[in-house]
A = this chain, B = another copy of it.
Amino acid sequence: MSESHQTPKTRARPHGIPGNERICTFSDGVFAIAITLLVLELQVPDQAPAGGLIELLPGYLPKLTGHVITFAILGIYWVAHHNMFTYVRWHDRVLLWLNILFLLFVAAMPFLTALIARYGDDQTAVVAYAGALMMAGLSLELMWWYATTDHRLVAPGLDPKLISLWHRRILLAPAAYLLAIGLSFISITATKGLFLCIAVAYIAPNPWDRYHHQQFPE
C-alpha cells in the first residue's frame, strides 16, 4: 500500500484494536444468509395449471427480476464492505456499532424484497425498500468517515485522494435512493427502473476501482 502521501495530520499509528477478522466473518454471515433467504420469497406454487408450470412463468417474471436485482444490490454492498475492509484494519467500539447498524438494514432486505414482490404497486413498499438501502449506504459512509477521519483506523499513509473518491462513490447510492423515494410519488414503474439503473451503474467498471487496484501495485 502506498505510504507516500503522509500529511501533517497523520498519526504514526492508528488509534484502535488490531484484527478485524470477526467483524468480517460476522458481516459475511449476515450477507450470506440475507442473500440466500431472498429465495424463500420465490414460493413454490400451490398448484400447477393444466398446461404445466410454464404457464405461470409470465406471472413470475417480475418476481424473478426483483430477486435478481436485490441479489445484485446486496452483492454491491458486500463488495463495498469487502473493499472498505482492505483499508480499515483496526477497530474500536464505535466502528463495531456502526457496522451493526449497517447490518440491520442488510438483514431487512429479504423482508422488504418479499414486500415489494407481493405489493409491487404499493408506494409504501417501494419507499421502505429504497429507504432501507439509503440507510445502508449512509451507515457505510458513516463507517468510512469515522475510520478515515484523522486516519483513525486506516494505515497512516493511505492516499487522501482515494479516501475522498470513496466518499463520493459511497454517497452516490443514498443520493440515488433518495431520488427514488421522490420519484415514487410520480411513478412506481420509473422508480423500479431507477433501482435497476443504480445496480447496473455500480456493477459496471469505473475509474474509482482503478484507484483501488493501484493501492496494491504489482
Spell out A's residues near B (CB within 8 Å). Answer: 11-19, 21-26, 28-40, 42, 44, 48, 52-54, 57, 68, 71-72, 75, 78-79, 82, 85-86, 92-93, 96-97, 100, 103-104, 107-108, 110-111, 114-115, 118-119, 122-125, 203, 205, 209, 212-213, 216, 218
- Given A39-B110, A79-B93, A216-B16: A119 touches B28 (CB 8 Å cut-off): no
Q: Sort A-B residue pairs by CB-CB distance and give the 10 closest, nearest first.
A: A29-B32, A53-B124, A75-B100, A33-B36, A54-B124, A26-B28, A25-B28, A36-B107, A39-B111, A17-B216
Q: How far is the CB of A127 from chain B (nearest CB, A)?
A: 9
Question: What CA separation (Å) do A38 and B104 show in the bound complex?
Answer: 10
- Assess the B36–A34 pair: CB atoms within 8 A: yes
- Given A111-B39, A115-B44: A216 touches B124 (CB 8 Å cut-off): no
Quick one: which of B15, B22, B213 contacts A82, CB cutoff 8 A?
B22
- Assess the B18–A216 pair: CB atoms within 8 A: yes
Q: DSSP class of A's interface residues: helix, strand, loop or mixed?
A: helix
List 13 A–B pairs whose Cβ atoms lie within 8 Å, in order of A's numbering.
A16-B213, A25-B25, A26-B28, A26-B82, A29-B31, A30-B36, A36-B107, A40-B111, A44-B115, A53-B122, A71-B104, A72-B100, A97-B203
Q: Which residue of B lies closest to A41 (CB)?
A: B44
Quick one: which of B28, B38, B107, B111 contacts A22, CB cutoff 8 A?
B28
Q: What residues of chain B lie closer than 8 Å to A218, measured between beta carbons? A: 11-15
Q: What residues of chain B lie closer than 8 Å to A110, measured between beta carbons? A: 36, 39
Question: What CA separation (Å) do A78 and B23 show in the bound complex?
Answer: 10
Q: How far is the CB of A37 from chain B (nearest CB, A)?
A: 7
Quick one: which of B12, B39, B85 contacts A108, CB cutoff 8 A?
B39
- Given A33-B36, A68-B104, A111-B44: A53 touches B96 (CB 8 Å cut-off): no
Q: What residues of chain B lie closer than 8 Å to A71, measured between beta carbons? A: 100, 104, 107
